[in-house]
Structure 1
């Protein structure tokens, strides 16, 4: 938490408790869209509520959302900004397993991370995501109520994502692909740093006729822009495979530390540290980090 604050002194760093987040969404949605609050309150498992809350809070406030146990490896002022069209949503690739046996290990061929993401307030993608969760909570209420969520959260893929879910990475990913495919003539630009990034190796995965699918983003080494959304490579919010990270809490070191565009970890911005267990989150109420300027 201290690293996020010290590295980004020009931003407001907010640690949002569960009660504060709930009150924020009640104040915002209860008058014009009470069904959002009803859907939130209908969720019987706290883990579902946590996931839904972060989308609601970022939709209302905008900013950078980060799970409490994530490392800020690069200050926000060094994060990528598109020169083609202002970036209003930034997400990173979480899983990109280009292997013939991908479906044995993961829910999706490619998923986007919900551990760290950045958005302007009221982005239409988040509105679509919230609407889908509300719709599901209403139309599948009986089925959801029958699920043993403790058991469901133990049955996970290789990324520790529950195989049954409707508030986390799977729905986030599915909804973002749907959003991309619904856009009319969007700007599409892939920042390629090498020829290998322009022409990927053999791609494994399911057949699809969609214009926007995992095939556009797989094996990316740089940002990919679709309209006002930028998708960062897997390195950005998952970190190097070596587990290496540099820097300390001394904010004076950042200016000289991150100005070399040729560094192999140039697009490395943040990563989860997995310090916290679910039991500790239940006991302490999982705080939310939100940075806005």
Structure 2
């Protein structure tokens, strides 16, 4: 794979400094040691676009973001501010999609829509800025799977069949007792499932506005509203529809990746370790578990993330 710049033209310039005056290269020295201890063998036949998309309201530097740079030194990294994301959607998405996008008052809801749109148009990896990768993206797909037959890679976030009451599901902050991760997604361009995810989210936003007899720009969205309308609720519904799975029993209790149609579905611990549910594995800084590929920011309350954060900060500041 031909090496390309890690930096997009207008985002995260190479001379960027953090609040203490350290450059990106200085900060990466601590991140590198964590990633090197977890690095896996990549695949020479990797054929997904080598680009990593991330969004934030402003440009930011943190150990989580830096992990994507260091783990994927030959890939392109695009960081979009709110203004850049809006311009991208206006340029690339249909007019009706753009109108809904720019009307959404909540930046989290817009970020949900943006990931589906940018992955549909450009492909590559979308990763929330509070996710930390432990290895390079070209090592995510195990060698037993034919690379050309896989067009999307997703992970399971929630697999809790015993949690059945709506009240308990809401207490956990889920849309349902089974849902996919959407803080990290890998896809090839123009995949129908990503287009369907955009359409599903827009349909749910319109439905909520109609139910409340409000204009979209006036909607006051709670965290559960977002989870259900634009977040993992909409994404999971769109993916299951594409996979033609009305029953998720075949995806319950996965311990290794499984391919359904052209989608590779990763077990819970791959993209969502250190959770208190769903059989998620608890990982410490000293462990090297190849199954664990990505950590998410809300898991910072767990021991692994606490250890990594303090260890990194002691190394880079």
TM range (shorter): 0.5 to 0.7
Match of 1:28 in 2: 92
- CA change 1:19–1:62 in 2 (3 A) is same
Equivalents in 2 of 1:84, 1:47: separation in Å?
32
- CA change 1:95–1:28 in 2 (3 A) is same
Mapping of 1:70-81 within 5 angstroms? 70-81=131-142
Greater share of residues in helix: 2
Using structure 1 for the length normalisation, give the TM-score.
Answer: 0.67
Equivalents in 1 of 2:111, 2:203: separation in Å?
18
Mapping of 1:150-165 within 5 angstroms? 152-153=222-223, 156=224, 162=225, 165=228
Match of 2:229 in 1: 166
Equivalents in 2 of 1:226, 1:174: separation in Å?
15
The CA deviation at 1:245 is: 4.2
The alignment partner of 2:149 has SS state of coil
- CA change 1:71–1:228 in 2 (3 A) is same
Match of 1:258 in 2: none
Query: Is 1:51–2:112 an aligned residue pair?
Result: yes
- CA change 1:27–1:242 in 2 (3 A) is same
2:71/2:136 contact within 8 Å kept: yes
The CA deviation at 1:2 is: 1.4
Equivalents in 1 of 2:81, 2:188: separation in Å?
21
Which residue among 126, 129, 135 is the counterpart of 1:68?
A: 129
The alignment partner of 2:132 has SS state of strand
Match of 1:288 in 2: none
- CA change 1:39–1:111 in 2 (3 A) is same
Aligned length: 220
Structure 1 gaps of 5+ residues are: 157-161, 182-210, 248-262, 277-293
Query: Is 1:213–2:247 an aligned residue pair?
Result: yes
Match of 1:149 in 2: 220
2:156/2:268 contact within 8 Å kept: yes
Equivalents in 2 of 1:55, 1:239: separation in Å?
23
Using structure 2 for the length normalisation, give the TM-score.
Answer: 0.62
- CA change 1:176–1:40 in 2 (3 A) is same
1:43/1:49 contact within 8 Å kept: yes
The CA deviation at 1:104 is: 4.5
Match of 2:48 in 1: none
The CA deviation at 1:270 is: 0.2
Select the structure with the greater relative contact order (CA < 8 A; seq sep ≥ 6): 1
Structure 2 gaps of 5+ residues are: 1-64, 170-174, 275-280, 301-317
**C-alpha RMSD of matched pairs (Å):** 2.6
Match of 1:92 in 2: 155
Query: Is 1:229–2:263 an aligned residue pair?
Result: yes
The alignment partner of 2:259 has SS state of strand
- CA change 1:85–1:102 in 2 (3 A) is farther
Query: Is 1:244–2:268 an aligned residue pair?
Result: no
Match of 2:191 in 1: 123
Which residue among 297, 300, 306 is the counterpart of 1:273?
A: 297
Equivalents in 2 of 1:98, 1:275: separation in Å?
21
The CA deviation at 1:7 is: 0.9
